[in-house]
Amino acid sequence: MAADSSMAPSGFAMDRPLGELLDTRAKWFLLVTLMLSMFVSALDQSIVATATPRILADLGGFDQLSWVFTIYLLAATAVVPVVGKLSDMFGRKYFLISGILLFTVASAGAGLSTSMLELIVFRGIQGAGGGMMTACVFATLGDLFSPAERGKYMGMFTGTFSLAAISGPTIGGLLTDNVGWRWCFYVNIPVAIVAITFITMFLPVRKRGGKVSNIDFLGAALLAGATVSLLLGLEWGQKEFGWTGVETLGLFIGSAALVTAFAFQEKRHPQPIFPLMLFKNRQFITANLIVMLFGAGMFGAITYLPTFVQTALGASATASGLVTTPQSLGLLLTSIIGGQMISRTGKYRVLVIAGALCITGGTFLMQTIGVGTAEWHISAFVFLVGLGFGLVMPTLSVVTQNSVSQDLIGVATSGRQFFMQIGQVVGTAIFGVVLATSYSNAFAADVSPDARAAIPAETLAKFEDPTLARDVVTFAAVKESVQALPDGQRLLDTTLNAQKGAIASAIHNIFIGSSIIAVIALLLTFLMKEVPLRRFAPHVARSPEPAGAGAHPPVMVET
C-alpha cells in the first residue's frame, strides 16, 4: 500500500491530477461510480415529487408537504461550503463515503416513516448527505483531470443530472404504482453499496494536511446559520408570515448579521472555510455571478411553468411534465457536446456567450405564451433554454475550478454549487411574489361584474388560488356550488376564463423579470476573459537539493 500524501516530505506538492496516478481501469470505475452517485441523488428529487400524492394518502400532513422538499434544500445548501473546505484539507474519500452513507441511511428511514414529521426529519438528513456528495463529486473530478480535460467529463456529469430529471417521473411512477412509494427511497440502497465499494477500492486519499483543532468551526456555524436564516426567511416570507412579518424580517436581519460576523471570522482565521481572497479573483466572481443570476432568472421562473400549463392550458400534470422535459433533453445534448469542444480547444468564452444568448432568447420567447399557445411551442422554447444551460453551467464549473489553485478545488467547487442554489431559492421566492401579485390583480380586473355579484364572496375567493383546478376535491365543490346558481354554467365558464387569463398575465410578468436577469447575466459573459485552461498538469514539486543529488521519486498516495 502506497504512502499517504500527508506523509510527504516538506516541499512536495500534490498538483498532478489523480488521473495521472491511476490506471485506466481504476479511473473509469471511479468516473462511473461518481456519476451513478450523482444520478441517484438527482433522481431522488424527481421521484419523490411523483410519489407525493401516495405519500399524502398514507401519511397525511398536507400542510407540511412543502417541508419535504424545503428541508432537503436547507440541509444540502448549508453543508456544501463546509464540506468543500474540509475535503481540501483532509481528502475527498472519507467525506464522499460519509455523504453516501448518510444519504442511504436516511433513505431507509424515509422509506420506513410512519408520519409526515418522520419523513421530514429523514429528508433533512438526506439533504445533508446529498450536499456532502455534491461537494465532493465535482471536486474529485477536479482532482482527476486537468482543467482542459475536465470539460468533457463535467459535461457528462451535467448530462447525468438531465437524465435523472427526464427519467425520474417515469421511474417514480412505476415504483409507486407497482411496489409502493417507499421503494422510491429503498432503491437508493443497492446503488449506494456499489458506490461505496468502488470508492473504497479505487479513490486514493489525498490530504493537504491540517489538524482538527485548526478547523474554523465558528466560521462553519456562522455560514450555516446565515444560510438557513436566509432560506427560511424566503420560504416563510412567501407562504407563512408575509414579507413584512416580524418573523420574516427577523430572519433576514439575522442572516445579514451572521454574514457580517462570518466575514470577520474568515478574515482573522488562518484556515477559513471560505477564503475571502477568492472575492478578489475576477474569474471566480464573474463565473459565480452568472451562475447565480441564471439560477434565479431561469430555474426560479420555470418552477411556475407547470402551473400555467395546467391552469391556463387545461393540461394534466403528466402533460405539463412532458411539456418541460425538452429542457432537460437540450441540456443533456449540449453539455456533452460543449464539454468535448472545451477539451479539444481549451476555449470556453464563446461557449458561455452562445449559451447565454440561447437562454436569453428563450426567456424573451416565453413572454409570448398565452391561453391559446400550443404546448409544442412551449416545449421548443424550453428546449432552447436547455441548450443554453448545457453550454453555460458545466463550462462555468470548469472556469471556476481553473481560477483557483489545486488546493482550493473543493472550496471553489462547493462555492459554485452554493451560489447556484442560493440563486434558485431567491428566484423562486421573488417570482412566487410576482405570480401571486400579478394573478390577483389580473383576476380582479378580468372577472365579470355579474359573476362578482352572483357568486358568493367565499366561493369566489377560491378562484384567487391559481392552483384551484389541481385540488380535485375543492374544485369539485366550487364547481357544484357555482353551477347551482341561475345561469351557473355561464358564470363558471367566464370565471374560469378570467382565471386562465390572469395566470397567463402572471407568467408573462414572470418571464419579463426572467429576461431582465438573463440580459444582465449575458452582459457579464462578455466581460469574462479567456484565461487559458491548464492542459498539462504541473509536475510534482521537488524539495531543494544539493547540486548533483538524485531526484526524489513522485509522492504516492494511499489507496
Q: Are residues 192 and 234 located together in one domain of the fold?
A: no
* 490 falls within a domain: no
Residue 207 lies in a domain: yes
Query: Looking at the domain assignment, is residue 85 inside a domain?
Result: yes
Q: Are residues 183 and 226 in the same domain?
A: no
- 44 and 105 inside one domain: yes
Structural contact between residues 306 and 317, judged by C-beta atoms closer than 8 angstroms: yes
CB 383 within 8 A of CB 332: no
261 and 187 inside one domain: no
* Residue 265 domain boundaries: 216-270
User: Is 149 exposed, middle or buried, given 0-12, 13-18 or 19+ CB atoms closer than 10 A?
Assistant: buried
pLDDT in tens, the chain (559 residues): 333 433 333 333 444 556 667 777 777 888 888 888 878 777 777 777 667 767 777 887 766 666 777 788 788 888 888 887 788 778 788 888 999 999 999 999 999 998 888 998 999 899 899 888 888 887 887 777 777 677 777 777 777 777 777 777 777 777 877 888 888 888 888 888 888 888 888 787 766 666 666 777 888 888 888 888 888 888 787 767 888 888 889 999 999 999 899 888 888 887 777 777 888 888 889 999 999 999 888 877 887 887 788 778 877 666 766 787 888 888 888 888 888 888 788 788 999 999 999 999 999 999 999 888 888 899 999 999 999 998 998 888 888 888 877 777 777 887 888 888 888 878 877 888 888 888 888 888 888 888 888 888 888 888 887 777 666 777 788 888 888 888 888 888 888 888 888 888 999 999 999 999 999 999 999 988 888 776 544 443 333 333 333 333 333 333 3
What is the domain count for the chain?
A: 2
Residues 208, 230, single domain; the answer is no
Q: What is the pLDDT of residue 432?
A: 80
Are the CB atoms for 355 and 392 separated by under 8 Å? Answer: yes
How many Å apart are CA 245 and CA 494, to the nearest integer? 36
Residues 85 and 127 placed together within one structural domain of the fold? yes
Q: Given 212, 243, 278, which residue is the final one in a domain?
A: 212
> What three-state secondary structure class fits 49?
helix
Q: Give pLDDT, residue 11.
A: 34
On whether residue 266 sits in a domain, the answer given is yes
- In this structure, is residue 255 part of a structural domain? yes
Rounded Cα gap, residues 163 and 146, in angstroms: 25
Lookup result for grid cell 500524501:
5
- Note the pLDDT of residue 102: 93
**Separation of CA 173 from chain center:** 22
Distance CA 548, CA 552 (A): 12
Query: According to the 3-state scheme, what is the secondary structure of 128-167?
Result: HHHHHHHHHHHHHHHHHCCHHHHHHHHHHHHHHHHHHHHH
Taking the model in full, what pTM does it have?
Answer: 0.76
Spatial separation of the C-alpha atoms in residues 515 and 521, rounded to whole Å: 10
* Same domain membership, residue 132 and residue 261: no
Alpha helices in 447-471 (DSSP H): 449-454, 457-462
In a shared domain, residues 120 and 233: no
CATH number of the domain enclosing 180: 1.20.1250.20
> Are 205 and 220 in a shared domain?
no
What is the rounded CA–CA span in Å between residue 72 and residue 104?
Answer: 14
CA angle 490, 495, 499 (to 5 degrees): 150
Write down which residue in 230, 255, 270 finishes a domain. Answer: 270
What would the grid cell of residue 525 be?
A: 459573459
> What's the gap between Cα 4 and its chain centre?
34
Is residue 228 in a domain? yes
Query: Does 246 lie in the same domain as 153?
Result: no
Residue 153 CB-density burial (10 A; 0-12 exposed, 13-18 middle, 19+ buried): buried
Enclosing H/E stretch for 465: none
Q: What is the DSSP letter of 466?
A: T
Q: Are 161 and 252 members of one domain?
A: no
**32 lies in some domain:** yes
106 neighbors 79 (Cβ within 8 angstroms): no
Q: What values do phi and psi take at 44, rounded to 5?
A: -55, -40
Q: What span, in angstroms and rounded, lies between the C-alpha atoms of 302 and 322?
A: 14
Q: Which of 212, 234, 251 is the last residue of a domain?
A: 212
Grid coordinates representing 67 are 417541508
> What per-residue confidence (pLDDT) applies to 384?
94
CA distance 252 to 425: 14
Does 491 map to a domain?
no
- Judge if 109 and 243 occupy the same domain: no
